[in-house]
């Protein structure tokens, strides 16, 4: 088979460090099969499936299920993330060693958050011994009680309880210091404020082993979106100010923020078509990540395509220690890569996305850049908007 690639950009396959696939537990919103299809169509060849499933991925049994289903579907490498604690908001550390033996290299408290500093310190110590990374959700829960939106002028005018920037910044600072003290590798999920970027700059300058991701939605959208009370815009951490988005774009261009991760978070229609306060936080991201990076980073001249390869593929692969992803193809090696048409523009329709859920904040928006072909170890997994099942 010949794949035409005139005028297209060749990139290493994308790696998403932060994907909610909802299996097991919420297969009405996404499964490993439908999420893998969305990933392949979005140009991804590896995704890290977050642990806040039901049951929680805090043990080897759930981890093995995710590995097995990912391999059976075969469209993208699905790597299970292990939960730091037993259960969400757990008081006890999970058996990180057992999960590491089952192949887990990223542990996370995403969707819950480890509040207890002693627990976080132990998690960092053990993960160092296991050569794993701890990805933290970056929320100090004592400062976000009842929070509904970014704490600021807009939320105040709309009567929505605030989620202050300091709820993120204080715990990122704490965990950077714990990472320094333990010598561990810390990864900060979905950085959303200018202040967090400042802390990361300081921590990296100190030689602390910290990496960080920003989501496409925190690069493009801001709290202007709150005006219509449409819960499609509700997400944790919340959409911040336009000034924050500008700082985040610059931090990503500079490498203070290492990479882009989607925080792809499918939700059922009834959990989004409701009152703001009752709605669940989160938005789809796998099929719109590349176009949003083109709109926010490439078009304004903040990143060239070399830089896109860095933030969508190389750095996430390095952070997770993934062999075979995020680098150019070696001679004689089956290709894991993504072809992008940089000139194409397309209009996003949630109903047309491969996910079961349709909660996209980009509904009706025209975005630049389209993934045309995705190859995983020499096999086409997606081509011109169609998934290719294994024969
Ligand atoms: O918006 C979010 N959605 N933030 C999280 O931390 C969890 C995620 C989810 O699981 O829906
Ligand atoms: Zn999170
Ligand atoms: Zn998440």
pLDDT band at 323 (very low <50, low <70, confident <90, very high): confident
Catalytic residue among 263, 271, 304, 341: 263
| Distance from C-alpha of 189 to C-alpha of 139, rounded to nearest angstrom | 10
Question: Contact at 8 Å (CB) between 320 and 106?
Answer: yes
The alpha-helical segments, DSSP class H, found in the chain are: 32-41, 60-73, 96-101, 117-129, 153-158, 165-182, 194-205, 216-220, 242-254, 289-293, 305-309, 315-320
Question: Would you call 263 a catalytic residue per the annotation?
Answer: yes
pLDDT band at 213 (very low <50, low <70, confident <90, very high): very high
Using alpha carbons, select from 244, 238, 236, 213 the residue that is nearest to residue 225.
Answer: 238
Q: What separation in Å is there between the alpha carbon of 372 and the centre of ligand 2? A: 30
From residue 391, alpha-carbon distances to 13, 75, 375, 381, 383 in Å are: 21, 12, 15, 11, 15
Q: Is 89 helix (H, G, I), strand (E, B) or coil?
A: coil
Contact 381, 40 (CB under 8 A): yes
* Stated length of the chain: 391
Cα separation, 57 vs 266, in Å, equals 18
Q: Which ligand is nearest to the CA of 138?
A: 2
Q: Ligand 1 in contact with 232 (CB < 6 A)?
A: no
Mean pLDDT of 205-214: 98
Span of 86-90, 93-97, 335-339, 353-357 with lowest mean pLDDT: 86-90
Residue 330: band (very low, low, confident or very high) from pLDDT cuts 50, 70, 90: confident
Per residue in 51-82, pLDDT tens? 999 999 999 999 999 999 999 999 999 999 99
Helices (H), ranges, 42-193 = 60-73, 96-101, 117-129, 153-158, 165-182
Evaluate if residue 50 carries a pLDDT over 90: yes
Q: What is the full DSSP assignment across 337-388?
A: EEEEEEEEEEE--GGGSSSS----TTTT-EEEEEEEEEEETTEEEEETTEE-
| Selected residue with higher pLDDT from 333 and 226 | 226
Query: Which residue CA neighbors atom 5 of ligand 1 most closely?
Result: 111
Place of tokens 């750095």: 315
Answer whether 311's CB lies under 8 Å from 303's CB. yes
Confidence class for position 327, pLDDT limits 50, 70, 90: confident
Closest ligand 1 atom to Cα of 20: 10
pLDDT band (50, 70, 90) for residue 326 = confident
Per-residue pLDDT for 313 more than 80?
yes
Whether pTM exceeds 0.90: yes
Residue with tokens 């928006």: 365
Answer yes or no: is the C-beta of 282 below 6 A from any ligand 1 atom: yes
Instruction: Check if 58 has its Cβ closer than 6 Å to any atom of ligand 1.
Output: no
Average pLDDT, the chain: 96
The residue whose CA is least distant from atom 7 of ligand 1 is 111
- Is residue 256 helix, strand or coil? coil
Mutational pocket test of ligand 1: of 280, 285, 361, the residue with most ligand atoms within 8 Å of the beta carbon:
280
Model confidence at 113, pLDDT cuts 50, 70, 90, reads confident
- Determine the pLDDT at residue 324: 75
Whether 139 is in the pocket of ligand 1, judged by its Cβ within 6 Å, is no
Report the SS3 class of residue 5. coil
Three-state DSSP at 188 gives strand
**Which of helix, strand or coil describes residue 107?**
strand
User: With a 6 A CB cut-off, is 235 part of the ligand 1 pocket?
Assistant: yes
CA torsion sign, 108 to 110 to 111 to 113?
positive
- Spatial CA neighbour of 190 closest among 268, 150, 138, 153: 138
pLDDT(251) > 90 = yes
Q: Answer whether 40's CB lies under 8 Å from 374's CB.
A: yes
Residue 366 has pLDDT above 90, yes or no: yes
- The reported pLDDT for the residue numbered 155 is 93
Q: Give the residue, 3 or 45, on which the prediction is more confident.
A: 45
**Ligand 1 contact via 111 beta carbon (within 6 Å):** yes
């Amino acid at each position: 088979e010949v794949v035409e690639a005139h005028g297209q950009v060749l990139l290493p396959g994308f790696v998403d460090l932060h994907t909610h696939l909802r299996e097991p537990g919420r297969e009405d919103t996404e499964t490993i099969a439908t999420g893998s299809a969305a990933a392949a169509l979005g140009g991804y060849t590896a995704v890290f499936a977050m642990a806040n499933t039901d049951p929680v991925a805090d043990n080897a049994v759930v981890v093995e299920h995710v590995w097995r289903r990912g391999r059976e579907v075969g469209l993208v490498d699905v790597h299970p993330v292990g939960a730091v604690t037993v259960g969400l908001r757990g008081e006890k550390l999970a058996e990180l060693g057992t999960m590491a033996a089952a192949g887990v290299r990223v542990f996370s408290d995403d969707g819950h958050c480890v509040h207890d500093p002693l627990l976080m310190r132990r998690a960092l110590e053990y993960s160092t011994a296991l050569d794993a990374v701890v990805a933290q959700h970056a929320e100090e829960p004592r400062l976000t009680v009842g929070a509904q939106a970014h704490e600021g002028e807009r939320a105040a005018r709309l009567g929505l309880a605030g989620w202050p920037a300091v709820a993120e910044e204080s715990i990122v600072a704490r965990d950077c210091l714990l990472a320094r003290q333990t010598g561990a590798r810390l990864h900060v999920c979905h950085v959303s404020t200018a202040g967090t970027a400042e802390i990361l700059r300081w921590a990296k300058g100190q030689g602390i082993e910290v990496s960080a991701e920003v989501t496409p939605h925190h690069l493009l959208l801001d709290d202007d979106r709150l005006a219509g009370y449409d819960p499609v815009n509700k997400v944790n951490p919340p959409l911040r100010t336009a000034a924050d988005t500008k700082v985040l774009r610059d931090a990503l261009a500079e490498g203070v923020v290492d990479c882009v991760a989607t925080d792809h978070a499918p939700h059922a229609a009834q959990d989004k078509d409701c009152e703001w306060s009752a709605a669940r936080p989160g938005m789809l991201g796998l099929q719109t990540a590349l176009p949003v990076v083109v709109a926010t980073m490439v078009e304004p001249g903040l990143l060239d395509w070399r830089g896109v390869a860095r933030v969508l593929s190389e750095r996430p692969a390095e952070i997770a220690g993934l062999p075979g992803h995020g680098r150019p193809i070696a001679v004689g090696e089956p290709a894991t890569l993504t072809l992008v048409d940089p000139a194409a523009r397309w209009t996003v329709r949630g109903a047309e996305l491969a996910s079961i859920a349709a909660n996209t904040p980009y509904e009706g928006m025209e975005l630049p850049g389209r993934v045309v072909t995705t190859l995983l170890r020499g096999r086409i997994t997606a081509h011109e908007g169609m998934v290719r099942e294994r024969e």
